[in-house]
């Protein structure tokens, strides 16, 4: 592939990604998408991505809003003979009117870092340990930390289709800022049951899909009731060739009893492209 064609695909990719539609950043962690399926042992792999964009939108005839957005992703996986280890990272920052001290405002500052170990990964019943730190300033989530473990059951493992079920327990610590009441934090510490079902499927030589659905629940004595969270992430991938592919993604979160009064259902829809050189 010539340099001119490579540059053309890169420009198209940037335009396509920038035109993607996002209603909300639900931040659903799809651990299956980052797992390595190769049988090679003592295998270390990873990927790092960074996006930077500056744009403006009309807020009056001579008063545009200027935006600055930074996005970083970084994943690392190590596969040993018996176990596998994943480190997943994501961060997104959006600043409005970055060129004015008086009007400058951070609209979004979201991200997570997730560490997961899958022990005896080749067994039908394996074990998992995980830890996570997360923040979503746009919704008022100053900090969420998770620490837990569980079991992972391989329901089906074929060349073109895999299906897994996982269940376990975790401790969840959350710090939420009350809407319209800056500097007032509501802190929650709950033991929770965490469960997921995940699947990967190769539909054809050029089309594949992967998805995961979580159900997490814990009893809170403060409200004398259970707090339930349901979330999911589904992607459809279209492989044009070995260098170029399209991806459509949908993820969402529903919480029936949020810690503070925020939108109970949030979702994100995105379309993007991936180019490998």
- Per-residue pLDDT at 271: 72
Query: Which letter does DSSP use for residue 28 in this model?
Result: -
| CA-based nearest residue to 54, from 70, 74, 34 | 70
- Per-residue pLDDT at 47: 74
Q: At CA 22, angle to CA 183 and CA 181, rounded to 5?
A: 15
Residue 227 structural domain: 3-275
- Per-residue pLDDT at 55: 65
- Per-residue pLDDT at 13: 42
pTM of the model: 0.77
- Per-residue pLDDT at 37: 58
Which CATH number does the domain housing residue 203 bear? 2.40.128
Neighbours of 167 (CB within 10 A): 15
Question: How many CA atoms within 13 Å lie on the side-chain side of 123?
Answer: 11
Query: How far apart are the C-alpha atoms of 234 and 180, rounded to whole Å?
Result: 33
- pLDDT tens figures, 54-93: 766 655 555 666 777 788 878 888 999 899 999 989 888 8
- pLDDT tens figures, 218-249: 999 999 999 999 999 998 988 888 767 777 88
CB contact set of 162 (below 8 Å; sequence gap of 6+): 154, 156, 199, 200, 201
- Per-residue pLDDT at 75: 83
**pLDDT-flagged residues of the chain (< 70):** 1-40, 55-65, 97-106, 243, 272-277
- Per-residue pLDDT at 274: 57
- How many domains does the chain fold into? 1
- Per-residue pLDDT at 15: 38
- Per-residue pLDDT at 126: 97
């Amino acid at each position: 592939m010539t340099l001119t064609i490579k540059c053309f695909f890169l420009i198209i990719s940037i335009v396509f990604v920038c035109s993607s539609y996002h209603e909300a950043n639900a931040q659903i962690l799809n651990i299956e998408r980052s797992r390595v399926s190769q049988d090679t042992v003592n295998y270390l792999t990873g990927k790092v991505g960074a996006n930077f964009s500056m744009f403006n939108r009309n807020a009056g005839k001579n008063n545009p809003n200027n935006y600055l957005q930074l996005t970083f992703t970084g994943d690392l996986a190590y596969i040993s003979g018996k176990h596998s280890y994943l480190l997943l990272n994501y961060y997104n920052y959006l600043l409005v009117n970055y060129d004015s001290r008086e009007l400058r405002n951070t609209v979004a500052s979201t991200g997570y870092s997730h560490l997961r170990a899958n022990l005896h990964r080749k067994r039908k019943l394996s074990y998992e340990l995980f830890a996570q730190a997360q923040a979503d300033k746009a919704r008022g989530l100053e900090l969420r930390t998770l620490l837990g473990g569980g079991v992972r059951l391989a329901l089906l493992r074929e060349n073109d289709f895999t299906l897994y079920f996982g269940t376990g327990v975790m401790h969840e610590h959350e710090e939420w800022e009350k809407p319209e009441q800056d500097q007032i934090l509501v802190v929650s510490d709950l033991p929770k049951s965490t469960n997921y079902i995940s699947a990967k499927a190769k539909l054809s030589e050029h089309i594949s899909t992967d998805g995961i659905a979580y159900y997490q629940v814990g009893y809170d004595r403060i409200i004398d009731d259970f707090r339930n969270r349901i979330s999911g992430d589904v992607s459809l991938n279209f492989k044009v060739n070995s260098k170029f592919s399209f991806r459509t993604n949908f993820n969402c979160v529903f919480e029936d009893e949020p810690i503070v009064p925020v939108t109970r259902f949030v979702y994100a829809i995105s379309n993007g492209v991936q180019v490998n050189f």
